[in-house]
Amino acid sequence: MTIDTFTWRTQKSAQGTESVSLVQSQFGDGYKQVSIKGINSNAETWNLNWTGKKTEAANIRTFLRSHTANSFWWTNPWGEKRLWRVKADSLSVSFPAGNKAALSFTFEQSFAP
C-alpha cells in the first residue's frame, strides 16, 4: 500500500499544539495520581495556511478532502516526518483577489495508515 505525501509548502505561520492523554485520580488529601494513557499518548495538531493560484489550490483541496480518513506523510516544521490526517471540518477557503485562493486546514497526527 502506497501512502501519499503532502509536498506543498505552507505559510510560515504554522501553529502547532501538542496534547498528552493522561489518566488522573485526585484524592481528598491533595495527592494526585497521574499516568500516561496508551502507547501513543502524545499527539500533535497543526493549523496551516496556503495561498497561491486558484488552479494549484484546487489540487491541494482535492488532496485534503481525500485524506480525512486516509493517512499521508508530512514533515512538520520541526523536521519530523510523520503520518497525518486532515482534521474533519477544518478545511476552509477564501478568494482574496483575482486568480488567488487561500486555504486553511488542520493536520492531526495519525498513528496508523
Residue-range domain boundaries for the chain: 44-113
Which grid coordinates belong to 3?
Answer: 501512502
The end-to-end CA distance of the chain, in Å, is: 9
What is the pTM for the complete model shown?
Answer: 0.85
Q: Determine the distance from the C-alpha atom of residue 70 to the mean position of all C-alpha atoms in its chain, rounded to a whole number.
A: 13
pLDDT 10s digits, 4-16 = 999 999 988 899 9
pLDDT digits (tens, 9 = 90+) for 16-75: 999 888 888 999 888 998 888 888 889 999 999 999 999 999 999 999 999 999 999 999
